Amino acid sequence: MANNELGPLGWFSAAGFVILSLLYVVDMQGIAQWPVSLPVTGALALLAAAGAILFWYGNDPTAAEEPTTTRTN
């Protein structure tokens, strides 16, 4: 069952979405030039967002395991 946690891999994907989205907006407004075309930057931002959502919703292999405790009498 999914634990809905992000590990380092999920946070990397989420950060990629934020950064690429900001680069998309900056390039779209003409504030600064980005060497990658506008459609490619937007597609990569959406891919990073999908990855972050899937890592959160699914099972991120880098997420911390739930601690298991054993009780002895």
Per-residue pLDDT at 2 exceeds 60: no
Q: For the purposes of burial, counting CB atoms within 10 Å of the CB of 29, is it exposed (0-12), middle (13-18) or buried (19 or more)?
A: exposed
Contact call for residues 45 and 21 (beta carbons, < 8 A): yes
**What pLDDT sits at residue 55?**
85
- For the stretch 26-53, pLDDT in tens is 988 888 877 888 899 999 999 999 998 8
What is residue 44's predicted lDDT score, i.e. its pLDDT? 93
The residues, ordered by sequence, that sit 6+ positions from 50 with a Cβ below 8 Å of its Cβ are: none
What pLDDT shows up at residue 73?
Answer: 64
Domain spans in the chain, listed from the N-terminal domain onward = 8-57
What stretches of 1-73 show up as alpha helix (H) in DSSP? 8-29, 38-57
**How many Å apart are CA 34 and CA 28, to the nearest integer?**
10
Instruction: Report pLDDT for 8.
Output: 86
